Amino acid sequence: MQTRKQKTENDNLIFGLRPIIEALKAGKEIDKLFVQNGLKNELFSELMSLLKKHNVVYQYVPLEKLNRLTQKNHQGVVGYISSIEYNKIEKILPLVFEAGKTPLILILDRITDVRNFGAIARTAECAGVDAIVIPARGAAQINADAIKTSTGALHKIPVCREENLKDVIDYLRESGLQVIACTEKTEEMYYQADYTLPVAIIMGSEEDGISPEYLKRSDTHAKIPLLGEIGSLNVSVATGIILYEAVKQRLN
C-alpha cells in the first residue's frame, strides 16, 4: 500500500517526451528534470528548445537512475511538476513598495534539506517576509515534505527561483535594500544591524554557509553568538533568530 507521501510524489511525477513538452507548453512549472545521457531525436530537440525558452534546469543522468524513478516507458526523460508556482523578484519587489510596506526579503543560498526549507518557510511567513529567493540549482525540492513542514506557508509566501543570486543581490541593493549576510565570519552581532530599513537577509547552506561572492556583495555581516561547544546552529533555527530580531525592531 502506498503512503500519502509516495502518492503525492507519484502525482507530481511526469515522464515521456511528449507529456513533458505539453506540460511546458501549458505553463506548468518543472521542479526537477532528469534526462538520459546521449538522448537524440526530433522530439528531444523540441524539448531542449522549450527547456531553454523557459529556463528549466535539467540534469543528464544514466538510464539506470531513470529506471529507478519509474519502470514505465519514460523515453529518457523523467521530471517532477512543482507543487507551487514560482515568482520572479523583479515582479514581487515593486508590489511590496506599492503596498507601502518596508520590504523584508529572505535569500537562501543552497539550502538542500527539505524539512529545513519547510521550517524556514513557516517561520518566514509568520515573520511577515515578503518573498523567499532560492537558486535554480542546488536548492531543496519543494515537494510534499517541504509543504507539510511549512504547514502550508509555501502556498502563501512568494518563492522566487532565480538563475543568478549575484544578479538578485545587485538588483536588491540598487532598489534600496540593505543586504545582510548571516555568517560567523564577522565580529558584528546580529542585533546590531538595522532591520527597520528595507532589508534582504541571506542565510547559507547547511554544509558551508554563504558563498564568498555573496558575502562580498553584502552591505553588512551579522553573527549569532554561540556560547556552547557546538560550532553552529541549525539553519532553520538561525533564520528564526534573525527574522524575529527584524520583527522586534520593526514593532518597536
pLDDT tens string 26-53? 888 888 899 998 888 888 999 999 998 8
- Average pLDDT over the chain, rounded to an integer: 91
Residue 56 has pLDDT above 50, yes or no: yes
- Give the H/E segment covering residue 122: helix 114-126
Q: Which domains does the chain have, with CATH numbers?
A: 4-81 (3.30.1330.30), 89-251 (3.40.1280.10)
Residue 2 has pLDDT above 80, yes or no: no
> Which residue from 165, 162, 169, 168 is spatially nearest to 218, judged by alpha carbons?
169
Across the range 210-224, mean pLDDT stands at: 96
Of 7-21, 31-45, 68-82, 238-252, least confident by mean pLDDT is 7-21
The predicted model gives 232-247 an average pLDDT of 96
* Cβ(213)–Cβ(166) below 8 Å: yes
Mean pLDDT value of segment 89-104: 97
Please report where in the chains the cell 556552547 appears, as a residue. Answer: 228
In terms of Cβ atoms closer than 10 Å to its own Cβ (0-12, 13-18, 19+), residue 154 is buried
Stated pTM of the model: 0.84
